């Protein structure tokens, strides 16, 4: 039974194990490039073609984005590291589709001994007569590879994921792609750089001395709400509530006046006297 045409838009194309996106300090994908290890070539994702010869990579990238300058020696590093030659290495057998190159939607006929693909039998017969390839032909799907000469290679699309089978979740892909450069929860807490900001809160009221040298992570225990198993959780909560209730009267009656009174702030003396009072209640 003849193969049906496919729609390339139906398939989810993702980089596979033959695709190199990044190599020791060089992020190829930033420049719209990947290396395919099967073809042993750099593929431009912008136009879906191998860049040949590889020494032409900087000029090729500039053709798409004239303002983009590749790092010095970029192409030489890739040529040496991946042994890139002046032409692509055509795969001998049927391979998974090459990431970055479009799928041909029409099935093609392939010369069975050498796996070159042709649009129709006429093309195949000319090839088989010219190069004396005998051993028949078969139908399959292909990709057009623009090496020094164009060639259609046969690819196996059965491992490709169809878009309809995959739950696309760009938000979580985006989130997973972001690695925080600094985990603020692990940084040691400091008083604000500008001492006029919040300085009364941190210094005058003595908060910073309690947390100095700790990170937010270290203090997690102290600020999380207590559980039933915590030893003194309920007692402390109750004391805190009574303190907050009672201190209002002290503020109003005894100690503060003016602005401090209005914002409900207290001096250390009030806290201290209440602390002594609370201790006498517990024991």
C-beta of residue 151 within 8 angstroms of C-beta of residue 50: no
- Does 45 contact Zn ion by CB under 5 A? no
- Does 84 contact Zn ion by CB under 5 A? no
Question: Which CB atom, from 154 or from 250, has the smaller least distance to Zn ion?
Answer: 154
**Shortest distance (Å) from residue 131 CB to Zn ion:** 6
Q: How many residues bind Zn ion (CB under 5 A)?
A: 6
CA distances from 81 to 20, 31, 41, 124, 228 (A): 12, 18, 12, 37, 60
DSSP 3-state helix, strand, coil percentages of the chain (rounded to 5)? Answer: 40, 15, 45
- Does 46 contact Zn ion by CB under 5 A? yes
- Does 109 contact Zn ion by CB under 5 A? no
Give the interface segment with Zn ion, choosing from 72-80, 106-114, 171-179, 267-275 (CB under 5 A): 106-114
**Interface positions, 227-256, toward Zn ion (CB under 5 A):** none
Alpha carbons within 13 angstroms on the beta-carbon side of residue 246 total: 13
3-class state of residue 238 by DSSP: helix
Question: Which CB atom, from 51 or from 251, has the smaller least distance to Zn ion?
Answer: 51
- Does 111 contact Zn ion by CB under 5 A? yes
**Shortest distance (Å) from residue 110 CB to Zn ion:** 8
Give the interface segment with Zn ion, choosing from 126-134, 207-215, 247-255, 259-267 (CB under 5 A): 126-134
Give the interface segment with Zn ion, choosing from 43-51, 93-101, 153-161, 251-259 (CB under 5 A): 43-51
**Shortest distance (Å) from residue 109 CB to Zn ion:** 11
Rg of the chain, C-alpha, whole Å:
35
- Does 57 contact Zn ion by CB under 5 A? no
Q: Which of 26, 114, 219, 247 binds Zn ion (CB under 5 A)?
A: 114
Give the interface segment with Zn ion, choosing from 6-14, 46-54, 117-125, 221-229 (CB under 5 A): 46-54
3-class state of residue 230 by DSSP: coil
Can you spell out the DSSP letters for 8-47?
Answer: GGGEE----TTEESEETTEEGGGGTEEEETTTTEEEETTT
CA distances from 143 to 49, 54, 97, 179, 185 (A): 11, 21, 7, 36, 50
End-to-end alpha carbon distance in the chain: 92
Query: Which residues have a Cβ under 8 Å from the Cβ of 263 and sit 6 or more positions away?
Result: none
- Phi and psi at residue 214, to the nearest 5°: -105, 155
Q: Which of 6, 21, 26, 47 binds Zn ion (CB under 5 A)?
A: 47
Question: Which CB atom, from 14 or from 131, has the smaller least distance to Zn ion?
Answer: 131
- Does 133 contact Zn ion by CB under 5 A? yes
Question: Which CB atom, from 44 or from 103, has the smaller least distance to Zn ion?
Answer: 44
Tell the residue number behind the tokens 């000029």, with chain if given. Answer: 59
**Contact set with Zn ion (CB under 5 A):** 44, 46-47, 111, 114, 133
């Amino acid at each position: 039974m003849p193969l049906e045409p496919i729609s390339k838009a139906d398939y989810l194309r993702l980089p596979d194990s033959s695709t190199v996106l990044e190599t020791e300090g060089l992020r190829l994908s930033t420049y719209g490039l990947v290396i395919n290890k099967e073809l042993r070539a750099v593929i431009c994702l912008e136009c879906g073609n191998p860049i040949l010869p590889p020494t032409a990579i900087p000029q090729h990238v500039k053709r798409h984005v004239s303002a983009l300058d590749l790092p010095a020696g970029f192409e030489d590093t890739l040529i040496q590291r991946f042994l890139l030659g002046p032409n692509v290495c055509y795969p001998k057998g049927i391979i998974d589709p090459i990431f970055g190159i479009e799928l041909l939607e029409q099935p093609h006929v392939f010369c069975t001994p050498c796996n070159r693909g042709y649009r129709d039998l006429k093309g195949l017969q000319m090839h088989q007569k010219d190069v004396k390839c005998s051993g028949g032909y078969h139908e399959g799907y292909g990709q057009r590879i623009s090496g020094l000469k164009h060639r259609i290679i046969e690819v196996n699309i059965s491992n490709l994921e169809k878009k309809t089978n995959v739950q696309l979740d760009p938000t979580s892909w985006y989130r997973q792609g972001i690695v925080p450069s600094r985990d603020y929860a692990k940084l040691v807490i400091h008083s604000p750089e500008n001492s006029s900001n919040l300085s009364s809160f941190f210094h005058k009221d003595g908060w910073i001395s309690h947390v100095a040298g700790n990170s937010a992570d270290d203090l997690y225990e102290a600020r999380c709400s207590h559980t039933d198993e915590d030893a003194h959780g309920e007692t402390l909560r109750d004391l805190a509530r009574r303190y907050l209730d009672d201190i209002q009267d002290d503020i109003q009656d005894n100690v503060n006046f003016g602005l401090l009174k209005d914002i409900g702030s207290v001096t250390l003396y009030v806290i201290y006297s209440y602390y002594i009072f609370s201790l006498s209640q517990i024991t």
